């Protein structure tokens, strides 16, 4: 299972708005430019997908909002709820 955190980065004097994505347990991050015809959640999703592709992850992710941005977790992978024996 993988967890990805996405965070909004406001515009500066030299850069426009961006979204930064980082994965728990990894030093890899990506920063993607804000796409103005997408919603807030869609921009966060795009950053999470970009990082997943960079890390070679193909699991489906589901996201939820936090005070600092969004958190994305994989919903595929090993059976998280094994059948009782």
| Per-domain residue ranges of the chain | 3-74
Starting from the edge strand earliest in sequence, which strands make up the sheet with 3-9, in order? Answer: 29-33, 18-23, 3-9, 70-74, 61-65
Whole-model pTM? 0.82
pLDDT at 75: 78
Least confident of 17-21, 32-36, 47-51, 59-63: 59-63
pLDDT at 36: 95
- Which tens digit of pLDDT belongs to each residue from 9-42? 999 999 999 999 999 888 999 999 999 999 999 9
Nearest 5°: phi and psi at 32?
Answer: -115, 145
pLDDT at 57: 85
């Amino acid at each position: 299972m993988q967890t990805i955190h996405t965070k909004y980065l406001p515009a500066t004097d030299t850069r426009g708005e961006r979204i930064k994505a980082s994965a728990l347990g990894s030093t890899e991050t990506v920063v993607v430019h804000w796409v103005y015809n997408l919603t807030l959640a869609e921009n966060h999703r795009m950053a999470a997908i970009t990082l997943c592709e960079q890390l070679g992850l193909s699991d489906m992710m589901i996201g939820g909002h936090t005070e600092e941005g969004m958190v994305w977790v994989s919903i595929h992978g090993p059976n998280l709820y094994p059948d009782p024996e």
